[in-house]
Structure 1
Amino acid sequence: MREFPFELALCAHLEATTGDVLARQIGGGVRVPSNRIIDVLCVEPGPAFEARAELTNERIPDAAIESEVGVGQSRYWRNAFDTSPEYARKVVDRAVEIGFFERERKGGREYVRQVARYPDWFGRLVGVENKPNLAEPGDLETQLRKDVSLGLVDEVILATESYVTRAHLNRIPEEVGVWRFEGDDDEKEIEVIREPTPLGTDAAGTELVEQHAGKADVRVVGAEEKARQRRRMAERAYGKGWRTYDFPACGEIESRNGGLPYCRWKGRIVNPVRCGADCPGHDPSDPPDIDLDFERDSRTPWVGDPAGRKRRQTGLDAFRTEE
């Protein structure tokens, strides 16, 4: 199976068999997040997950979470950020738009506060690297060694459709767990070949930033930096999910298993980006009428339309204001 359909099928299976928040293609570096992209990130809900779900269905900007904007007292927006006014303005507007901040005007100034305290809402993070065909591993070993040495996620898993030999296992770090995910489209199962070893997420890690012939740029990443990036990854996953595609305008396409783009003509899950008029089976039509947010809401702990925690004010003195 091609990597994109394999990834979607694995996400659908994990969604049906776990209570995790799942997302695809999440930056897994610290100094340079895009230097390592995690194929599938599994975010385990923590005890305060419901409080997070009540806030907003969107990703909350990291700068809004780390700002001096609190719950019980409003602050003049410019004084709440240690950044440029232009960037702070964008963060405030976005936080208000998604319902994390509320604002009022007093004396010609704008004041903001959080509608509710940001909760410690997630537990373990598990990163899954997809490689359906181990005969074409690419840079697999280097990618997995990056994950293990940095220790940003709690566990690292290699998922494949290939038969896994001892030679395969010897070429990847022993801390990496291995799944074989295979079967018919409607009856795929995970066979655990090797259990992962938990990584030291609460200790410093080593990040490979750049690699050249005979030279590698390596940085030590502290525990606090890792904790901040873990929160950013979890937030990104919460807001993004894994259904990040549109269905193509083709009569052969239908939705299966909660939003997988299945092509009847090809008899398999397809990558919508590669669908078009140049396909011999293309049947021009409107895209299937699928609400992917509804599919996610009905199948996962994520809440598509939360009631929110915003409190209506009866006057300007409804909460204390910092002058």
Structure 2
Amino acid sequence: MREYGFELALCADLEADDRVVSRQLGAHVHGRRIVDTVVLEPGPEFDRRAEITDRTIPGPAVETSVGVGRARDWREVFPDRRPDRARSLVERGVEIGFFERERRHGTLHVRQTARYPERWFDRLIGIENKPDLDRPGDLKRQLRQDVALGLFDEVILATESYVTGAHLNRVPEAVGVWRFDPDIGDREVVREPEPLDPAADGTEIIAERPGRTEIRLVDHEQKRRARRRLAERAYGKGWRPTELPGCANCDPSADSRAVTVPFCTFHDRIVEPAVECGAECPGYQSAEPPAFDRERERAADSAWRPDPDGHQRRQVGLDRFG
């Protein structure tokens, strides 16, 4: 199975009603690092966060001092940003129900609809998926970066390969290793991960060249903000594809998993629609994409909650802006 199908199968296996699973998220502060799979475990204030919105709350909106008390002139909410960017952030906050608006003397003012609960998530687990360890790519560097930065509470490598001692020696000791069979959903723990310390300062590897490694130090406050943004993105995004291929051979019901994934009966496996589907595929037969309710499935199988009550929901932009 290719990496995309392996990743979806693992996400489906990990999903449960006491956690949130997402995929392809940025896990960096200064550089760039995309982690394949993120597992979020709820904290004591999870219910309060879930009541605000089912979508990602932008980091700048959380970090601004607008608060839930006195409404503030929108131009003062993001004073360090260009007016067009500040306006976009305000509009987004209103759209998702995190901000509410009112007019005072002809000027738009905004406030938060609820206090942001900082303790809404507990642990974040980062998983790098590499089905074939004989084709490791940048695996070693990626895992070294995850451990050195320490945004996650645990880091795990998931593979379909038989794991040898030589493989383990090339993986940082703190990284756990799973062997996962995507066809039957069997997951074997080859090595337990060592706990990392997200509250401590970290080191971010920016670039590596022969004889030289460029790094930047990251303090605990920067990590705290980065973890919150990562958690927000995980909560809002999830792991399911947004749509399925328009092909008669796409039949999610033919797959053994009780979730909707782009399973192709021609190839007899999960396919990556953006890469493998279309007129160039020998099995392509144009058809309407299979219908599925992505949000309903996610709500039924995870801790994520759609359309919370009690706050503004999906307002139509700032139509009275200016």
Could you tell me how far 1:195 is from its partner in structure 2? Answer: 0.5
Q: Report 1:199-218 matches (<5 A).
A: 199-218=196-215
8 Å Cα contact 2:64-2:77 kept in structure 1: yes
- C-alpha distance in structure 2 between counterparts of 1:300 and 1:224, whole Å: 29
Q: Report 1:69-218 matches (<5 A).
A: 69-84=66-81, 85-120=83-118, 121-182=120-181, 185=183, 187-218=184-215
Q: Report 1:147-296 matches (<5 A).
A: 147-182=146-181, 185=183, 187-255=184-252, 256=255, 257-273=258-274, 274-296=276-298
- Judge which range, 173-182 or 239-248, deviates more: 239-248
Could you tell me how far 1:213 is from its partner in structure 2? Answer: 2.9
- Give per-residue Cα distances to partners, 1:276-306, cap 9 Å, x unaligned: 1222222211000112122112211111221
- Judge which range, 236-245 or 221-230, deviates more: 236-245
- C-alpha distance in structure 2 between counterparts of 1:278 and 1:310, whole Å: 45
Give the aligned residue type for 1:15.
Answer: E
Give the aligned residue type for 1:58.
Answer: R
Could you tell me how far 1:310 is from its partner in structure 2? Answer: 4.3
- Structure with bigger RCO (C-alpha 8 Å, 6+ apart): 2
Q: Percent identity?
A: 55
| DSSP-derived class of the 2:75 partner | helix
CA RMSD of aligned residues (A): 1.5
- C-alpha distance in structure 1 between counterparts of 2:271 and 2:310, whole Å: 36
| DSSP-derived class of the 1:9 partner | helix
Could you tell me how far 1:81 is from its partner in structure 2? Answer: 2.1
- C-alpha distance in structure 2 between counterparts of 1:278 and 1:46, whole Å: 47
Could you tell me how far 1:214 is from its partner in structure 2? Answer: 2.3
- Give per-residue Cα distances to partners, 1:199-226, cap 9 Å, x unaligned: 1211111111122232221111000000
- C-alpha distance in structure 1 between counterparts of 2:129 and 2:242, whole Å: 18
Q: Which runs of 5+ in 2 are unaligned?
A: 314-322
Q: Paired residue for 2:25?
A: 26
Q: Which runs of 5+ in 1 are unaligned?
A: 312-323
Could you tell me how far 1:86 is from its partner in structure 2? Answer: 2.3
Change in CA separation of 1:51 and 1:143 when aligned onto 2, cut-off 3 Å:
same
Moved over 6 A (4+): none
The normalised TM-score by structure 1 is: 0.91
Give the aligned residue type for 2:200.
Answer: A
- Give per-residue Cα distances to partners, 1:61-80, cap 9 Å, x unaligned: 11111112111221112222
- C-alpha distance in structure 2 between counterparts of 1:295 and 1:173, whole Å: 36
- C-alpha distance in structure 1 between counterparts of 2:77 and 2:292, whole Å: 41
8 Å Cα contact 1:245-1:272 kept in structure 2: no
Give the aligned residue type for 2:163.
Answer: V
8 Å Cα contact 2:159-2:179 kept in structure 1: yes
- C-alpha distance in structure 2 between counterparts of 1:242 and 1:40, whole Å: 8
Give the aligned residue type for 2:43.
Answer: G
8 Å Cα contact 1:30-1:225 kept in structure 2: yes
